Structure 1
Amino acid sequence: MLSVAGDLDHHTTPRLRAALDELTLAPGNGLVIDLSALKFCDSTGVSILIAAHQRAQEAGAALALAGLDPDLAHIFSIMGLDRLFSFYDTTEAALAALQ
């Protein structure tokens, strides 16, 4: 599980990219990204989340996003990201879904 807090923008995405690069994803594995402390996400942040999804998909692993603020969830929905990602209210729910 990875947790993202504060802003996810062009200044902070390198840290998330580095954390994602350290993970080993394999078929049957799951990754939860906890966004419950995320306050702002720009297009660079969205791009890194999409890249994480693509990497998980290529590895045969599942990816779930948890705890997204309702306002950000609405924006993600407008962008159609609700068709790409699985969203869960809590990390516990996301972890359970990936079991």
Structure 2
Amino acid sequence: MQQSGMRVHIEVRRPVGVGVVTIGGELDYDGVALLEEAVGSLRDQDVHRLLLDLSDLTFMDSSGVNAFLRAQRGTRSKGGWVRLANPQPSVLRVIELVGLGQAIPLYATVGDALAA
């Protein structure tokens, strides 16, 4: 499944038991609804283990950070988890500044996150 907003695009894949959500472009207030729709569609399919692939994400503001935290709360309430993988340097800087990596596990690659 692929969705595109003005500056963000979302792709969802489902390798065995995990929803991989690839986020590309710029994730800000205007794009968060697309991400939340993708996460919600996975939850509707009883997928509660989410890997957010940030390899194509070039910008993220506090709206994106909050969307990640909401996704984590929703999956944890169902016994699942969220993992972040492969952030670009500009996005990694935001993650480090707000301490998001302490709240949601962060991995260098998608493969590492799936293997954990």
The bucket for the TM-score relative to the shorter chain is 0.7 to 0.9
Structure 2 residue aligned with 1:62, among 56, 61, 81?
81
**Identical amino acids, percent of aligned pairs:** 31
Deviations 1:18-71 (A, max 9, x none): 001101246xx5210100000000111111111011111111102110111233
The residue type equivalent to 1:12 in the other structure is: G
- Equivalent pairs counted in the alignment come to 95
Normalized per residue, the structure richer in helix is 1
Unmatched segments (≥5 aa) in structure 2? 1-19
Give the whole-Å Cα distance in 1 for the aligned partners of 2:89 and 2:34.
Answer: 24
Relative contact order, CA 8 A, sep 6+: which one is greater?
Answer: 1
TM-score, length-scaled by structure 1: 0.87
Contact 2:58 2:90 in 1 (8 A): no
Give runs of ≥4 in structure 1 deviating > 4 Å: none
Equivalent residue, structure 2, for 1:2: 21
Give the whole-Å Cα distance in 2 for the aligned partners of 1:23 and 1:50.
Answer: 16
Unmatched segments (≥5 aa) in structure 1? none
Give the whole-Å Cα distance in 2 for the aligned partners of 1:74 and 1:14.
Answer: 23
Compute the RMSD of aligned alpha carbons.
1.4
| 2:46 matches 1:34 | no
Equivalent residue, structure 2, for 1:45: 64
Equivalent residue, structure 2, for 1:82: 101
TM-score, length-scaled by structure 2: 0.75
Q: Secondary structure at the match of 1:7?
A: strand
